[in-house]
Amino acid sequence: MTPLHAIGAFVRELFLLVPMGVVRALFLAVPVLLLVWVLRRKSDPDEPAALSRQLRIWASVALLVQIAIYWLMA
């Protein structure tokens, strides 16, 4: 076994110690936090307000779809 195999086995063992509930929660928390950030973000003064609003709406829809899919997978 090479040193890289030993390092890989060590990292694999560390990852196996993390409970699946924690992994699922983190997996779902990332798009939820991103959705919160998108909704709370203020628009830039240089860009048109309509464009900013439209981007916020469609980004929110995409994130909600992603959250729903992840929720069903968990």
Mean pLDDT for each 10-residue chunk of the chain (74 residues)?
93 95 93 96 84 92 96 85
Residue 22 is predicted with a pLDDT of 94
Residue 72 is predicted with a pLDDT of 92
Residue 49 is predicted with a pLDDT of 82
Q: Which of 24, 19, 18 is nearest to 73 (CA)?
A: 24
- Distance from C-alpha of 63 to C-alpha of 47, rounded to nearest angstrom: 22
- Give Cβ neighbours of residue 27 (< 8 Å, ≥ 6 apart): 70, 74
* Chain centre to alpha carbon of residue 3: 33
Torsion angle of alpha carbons 20, 22, 24, 25, nearest 10°?
160
